[in-house]
Amino acid sequence: MTIAFYPGSFDPPTLGHLDMMLRGLRLADRLVVGIGIHPGKTPWFTAAEREEMLRGAIADAAPGSAARVDVTTFDGLVTAAAADAGATLLLRGLRDATDFDYEMQMAGMNGAMAPSIDTVFLPASPAVRAITATLVRQIAKMGGPTHHFVPGNVAERLHTKTL
């Protein structure tokens, strides 16, 4: 069984994240979505809220595939979390050349630490390429519409959070 690990902060989950999850399910039998917890950062949503939003988004988008997705949290190295999940693939999305440069460095370091885990880069789909969680948070904080950028269940949570 091939297991892919897809790490990120997912604060909040976006349509870009959902696109990567759905495409990751085409590459692997199971997809483990790892919510990174970083002690130096203060997320807008709790880890439990992000997990709930991710589960809801995949259940809405691909109900038949939701059983093949696990969501977990981790606070250490991505390679350790991926290994703990039994993953042999580390799924990473690329929006632009800046992402590529950074991700290549990370892939090199991760490969040195965990040679049995291969990093797989997927270019962001054109329709979601410009979406970042940071921009979505800014739009939401300023009262703008977010439904173009996030799954429906996430848009509802953003709206509730900004009221």
Specify the long-range contacts of residues 63-70, CB closer than 8 Å, at least 24 apart. Answer: 65/22, 65/25, 68/25, 68/29, 68/30, 68/31, 69/21, 69/25, 69/30, 69/31, 69/32, 69/33, 70/30, 70/31, 70/32, 70/33
DSSP letter for each residue of 52-81: HHHHHHHHHH-TTTGGGEEEEEE-S-HHHH
Q: Are the C-beta atoms of 44 and 161 separated by less than 8 Å?
A: yes
Domain residue extents for the chain: 3-162
Nearest to 41 by CA among 29, 50, 31: 50
Rounded Cα gap, residues 102 and 96, in angstroms: 10
The CATH classification of domain 3-162, taken from the options 3.40.50.620, 3.30.70.940, 3.30.1540.10, 3.30.70.100: 3.40.50.620
Alpha-carbon span 134 to 22, nearest angstrom: 22
Mean pLDDT of 18-23: 97
Q: Which pLDDT score is estimated for 65? A: 94
pLDDT at 58 over 70: yes
For helices 152-162 and 47-61, angle between their N-to-C axes, nearest 10 degrees: 150
pLDDT of residue 162: 76
Encode pLDDT of 111-163 as tens digits.
999 999 999 999 999 999 999 999 999 999 999 999 999 999 999 999 888 76
CB-count exposure of residue 14 (10 Å: 0-12, 13-18, 19+): buried
- pLDDT of 69-97, one tens digit each? 999 999 999 999 999 999 999 999 999 99
Write out pLDDT tens, residues 33-44: 999 998 888 999
Q: CA 6 to CA 31: how far, in whole Å?
A: 7
The answer to whether the CB of 66 falls within 8 A of the CB of 21 is: no
